[in-house]
Amino acid sequence: MDMTNEEKRIPLYATSTVPTIPNTVSAETPLESLNMNWRERDLPEKDRTKHVHRLHPYLGKYIPQLVEIFLRKYFKPEQTVLDPFCGSGTTLVQANELGINGIGYDISAFNIMLCHAKLYKYNLRKARTEVLDVLDKLSEFDTHYGQRKLLLNNPLSFKIPENDNHYLEEWFSPRALKELLAYRYLIESGDYEYKDLLKVILSRSARSARLTTHFDLDFPKRPQNGPYWCHKHSRTCCPVNEADKFLKRYSIDTLKRIEEFSKLRTDATVELHHDDSRNSRFPAISGVITSPPYMGLIDYHEQHAYAYHLLGLEDRRGAEIGAAKKGANRTAQQLYQSGIVDVFKNAVDSMPTGGRLIVVVHDKSNLYYAIAKMCGVEIEAVVDRHVNRRTGRRFSEFYESVFVWRKS
């Protein structure tokens, strides 16, 4: 007799009271021995955001240690793991560290650009030369507060994209916008090989240079144009007026992070596809590790709106699965399930019998048992873990589920 869903469920609190150390896990490690309820002292932020994992802020990503555990348990070097919702590239980066080939798909142009910047095999000397060269050229420009018409008439053509709808003028001070546009012009006009890396530096700087409160960089709803009481600093603060300091700071930090990753990366292959996984035919894979969009929680394009406007990236937000603006009512749930099923059916078709799909999700609407059934996979286990390390004004505790599915 088949076990019921509840009988297959691994207990919330694992048999071990000691948090699991990822690099100790192997194919023989029992699932029920895994304790992934890491606290801050077990897994500090500097480890969760090591090397390129914090090349750019990204909401809704899972931590690399969680991915590492399941890569070690279910995959071997030279096998291939697919992430059909590759997001900021956590699965692909960790797979590369372990010598596992990675294939990533995402509908977001920004996400693919970020993944490419993280996973490119750089000539470090050339990368450093290019990053510092842009900074040197930027310092030659007059970045003092100027009039709007002077920007548009500048011979360097610091032009705002025609389809921008004034977003950039609303969210950046004149000085900050001039500095960002100057940096963008230098990328476009320069003979640089690593332009995606430079664009990520520009995007990260733009995020920090927006006219918003210091405590609400994640979800700002409107520009902050004057002084305000700052919950982060417990005093009156003013919005940022310049971008130059962020461009300098993140240039140095970026070089440090790609250099750190270069010591760990392997020759495993990486493929990136800017495509909708519902309609894609995936190449042959060994299995899947992914964290699908959490229904009704995050608008993934909107969180990087500044990058889309500044870089003129293709915006396909209308095709997002489970976007926050679509809500979480019954109709939204049905659309979400249908989209996720289409993706996983495509993945199952590309993997061998016995291959695993590891799906990490906050399944508060209890949709994933039905999704597994519709995909025709066996539910081997569901491991729940307590997430309690949220910080700042977004602090909250929740539980996420790690579904272990098997193609039978």
Give tens-digit pLDDT for 387-405: 765 544 445 566 789 999 9
Asked if 350 and 283 count as a contact pair (C-beta separation under 8 A), the reply is: yes
**Residue 30, pLDDT score:** 92
Q: What is the mean pLDDT of residues 144-164?
A: 50
**Residue 155, pLDDT score:** 45
- Between the alpha carbon of residue 227 and those of residues 43, 72, 240, 245, the distances in Å are 36, 50, 10, 20
Locate 381 and state its tokens.
């286990």
User: Using one digit for the tens of pLDDT, what is the confidence trace for 85-107?
Assistant: 999 999 999 999 999 999 999 99
**Residue 393, pLDDT score:** 47
If pLDDT is split at 50, 70 and 90, which confidence band does 159 have? low
Q: What is the mean pLDDT of residues 267-293?
A: 97
Running DSSP on this structure, what letter comes out for residue 78?
Answer: T
Looking up tokens 């000691």 gives 18
Q: What is the mean pLDDT of residues 136-140?
A: 86
Give the start-to-end residue ranges of the domains of the chain: 5-118+275-406, 124-260
**Residue 99, pLDDT score:** 98
- pLDDT over 50 at 362, yes or no: yes
**Residue 150, pLDDT score:** 41
Instruction: Determine if the pTM surpasses 0.85.
Output: yes
**Residue 162, pLDDT score:** 62
- pLDDT over 70 at 38, yes or no: yes
**CATH class of domain segment(s) 5-118+275-406:** alpha beta
Mean residue pLDDT across the chain = 89
**Residue 392, pLDDT score:** 46
Full strand arrangement of the beta sheet holding 378-387: 9-10, 378-387, 398-406, 356-361, 287-290, 80-83, 101-106, 270-274
Asked if 188 and 318 count as a contact pair (C-beta separation under 8 A), the reply is: no
Find residue 236's DSSP bridge partners: 229
115's enclosing H/E stretch is helix 109-119
If pLDDT is split at 50, 70 and 90, which confidence band does 265 have? very high
Cα separation, 223 vs 213, in Å, equals 8
Residue spans of beta strands (DSSP E) within 302-377: 356-361
- pLDDT over 70 at 199, yes or no: yes
Asked if 363 and 326 count as a contact pair (C-beta separation under 8 A), the reply is: no
Running DSSP on this structure, what letter comes out for residue 406?
Answer: E
